Structure 1
Amino acid sequence: MSFKIVVDSCCDLPAEYKKDPRFEVVPLILQVDEHVIVDDDTFDQQDYLAKVAASSECAKTACPSPELYMKAFDCDADDIYVITLSSKLSGSYNSALLGKNLYLEEIGEKNIHIIDSLSASSGEVNIAYKVVDLAESGLKFEDVVTKIEEYRDEMSTFFVLDSLETLRKNGRLSGMKALVATTLNIKPICYGTNGSIDQRGQGIGMKKALVKMADIIAAEVKNPEEKRVMIAHVNCYERACVVRDLILKNTPFKEAVILDTAGVSTTYAGDGGIIVTY
């Protein structure tokens, strides 16, 4: 059975998957002041970061329309797997559900499953890799759905950001128990908890926070030799390489993948941000 994976643009796919015809990215919309930017392959990260830095207002995002999702479902593939941002962080998941209902009502029956990643960025990519593994193994659609939901529920996402201001101003930190003053250069180690954001620790300065995050991962991960670790970065490839080496030093993941962020992740993680999922 042929399959297609539809993702929203917070899923920071590697270059080879962006070129893979089995993938389609449904873009969110970004806005900085009067600038409205489609988060697709025309996204210019350096120009966008400059606009964000020059603005006194907080950058905002808007989820894709149900019609965009419905259009993505209209293809020759037998099975469609859709991966979206956490439903607690964005309306993308609900929009995808509406797009599925529109497709079934207006076009006809098809195997379409919408996966709420309960994560973002590298978390969505991690799920996408697993969907490919399962679908290519020859499993039936229903079995892939069952296994991918189980996999999602066992996944962990951590991030350390230079600034939490965009997340705070956009109301994405409602689940945090404690926030610390950035003027003290204290960097919280944040963790995705059932689709929301919590705090797991902190470090004085980015380097110490990243070391502590790697230590937490080493202490908590089970069967790393069976898992991939995904490391997404915002304009800081060298920092991402350092994080990869810190993690692999004590934790033998079967594969480590470094990802460039597109527009949505760049908006919320901010310049210098690191997101890790396994």
Structure 2
Amino acid sequence: MRVGLIVDSACDLPFEFSRRNNLFILPVTARIDGQTYVDDHDPVKTAEFYDSGLLQKGHHAETEAYSAGQIHDLFLNEIVTQYDVAFCETVTRSRSRIFQNATEAMNSVMAHYHDAREAAGREGKFSMRVIDSKQIFAGQGLLAAHTLRLIDQKLSKNALRQQVEDFTDQIFTAVIPRDLHYIRERARRRGDKSVSAVVAFLGKALNITPVLFGKGAEGKPVAKTRNFDAAVEKVMNYAVGRIEAGLLTPYVSLSCGLSWEEIEALPGLDQLRETCARHNVELLLSQMGITSSIYIGPGSLCLSLAAEEHDFSDHQ
């Protein structure tokens, strides 16, 4: 039984990790300042996007998920013909239409896959499941890495589905938004009033950098720091402490809306690497993709791990 894993372009993972594990990416289209980018995690495109400076205008960007019809064609041509079972993990349905579109596409594919499969010379039935990851960015990456680990265990498709869905409720994410004004303006254009003008003003005037923390995409402020480096140190300390206390999967996912030079200079990164190495944990370090960097803004950081119930303050 050949099992395939599909994620969308809001899922942040190192490119080589995705390539090595044959992850299939559902693209998102981004339009900024008259230019169009199809975010399929191509590292060259991502580097060009960062170098262009367009991210500074990202709060004006229009992002568009592939339609159900486009996803149907991708599933039929690229997935049905290669795999016997497929799982599609999408960004949380509360932030995007991708889950809805992928589910509609899956239902259509399941009714019409037989001819495409026969033409490709693949025998037997095909089955598929679309799963709401309940995550964003690094959290999606962590779920994908854990799913690949489960696939390697040769579980039945029902056991695999159940374990993946259960795992979505065990992922904790810390986010550092670099520019609260960007977040507020981006949210306002999308009709999300969760970031008030007062908070954005205070962040700019007082140089406050918050740390948001919680399960999945439902983060709340847990710290306010005077600058970005101080916020990064808090998140790194949290990750180190949580690794030492124990994780539920041997991965930590860290994505950054920064250049690679800036990423390598992050305070506490070396200590995080050393702690991961001591505990046989793989650090999935990546530059944020186009989709996630537009959503959360330039210079931001997102870290995810899976663990038993705990508070951010437990590891400070």
Task: Indicate whether the TM-score tops 0.5.
Answer: yes
More helix by share: 2
- Deviation per CA, 1:187-213: give whole Å up to 9, x if none: 110124453342222211011111222
Identity among equivalent pairs (%): 19
Matched with 2:35 is: 35
Equivalent of 2:82, from 66, 73, 76? 76
In the TM superposition, residue 117 of structure 1 has moved relative to its aligned partner by 1.7
Q: Is the 8 A contact 2:71 2:101 kept in 1?
A: yes
Matches within 5 A, 1:107-126: 107=113, 110-126=126-142
Paired residues, number: 277
In the TM superposition, residue 181 of structure 1 has moved relative to its aligned partner by 2.2
Aligned partner of residue 232 in structure 2, secondary structure: helix
Unaligned runs of 5+ in 1: none
CA distance in structure 2 between the aligned counterparts of 1:16 and 1:249, rounded to whole angstroms: 21
RMSD of aligned residue pairs (Cα, Å): 2.8
Matches within 5 A, 1:1-278: 1-20=1-20, 22-40=22-40, 41=42, 43-48=45-50, 49-53=52-56, 55=57, 58-70=60-72, 71-72=74-75, 73-107=79-113, 110-171=126-187, 174-175=193-194, 179=199, 180-217=202-239, 223-224=246-247, 226-241=249-264, 242=266, 243-247=268-272, 252=279, 254-278=281-305
Residues 56, 193 of structure 1: alpha-carbon distance in 2 compared, 3 angstrom cutoff: closer
In the TM superposition, residue 158 of structure 1 has moved relative to its aligned partner by 0.9
Q: Is the 8 A contact 1:119 1:192 kept in 2?
A: no
Q: Report the AA paired with residue 245 of structure 1.
A: D
Unaligned runs of 5+ in 2: 115-124, 306-316
CA distance in structure 1 between the aligned counterparts of 2:3 and 2:58, rounded to whole angstroms: 44
TM score, norm. by length of structure 2: 0.77
TM score, norm. by length of structure 1: 0.86
CA distance in structure 1 between the aligned counterparts of 2:156 and 2:178, rounded to whole angstroms: 43
In the TM superposition, residue 130 of structure 1 has moved relative to its aligned partner by 0.9
In the TM superposition, residue 257 of structure 1 has moved relative to its aligned partner by 2.0
Q: Report the AA paired with residue 64 of structure 1.
A: Y
CA distance in structure 1 between the aligned counterparts of 2:281 and 2:58, rounded to whole angstroms: 43
In the TM superposition, residue 66 of structure 1 has moved relative to its aligned partner by 1.5
Q: Which moved more, 1:268-277 or 1:168-177?
A: 168-177
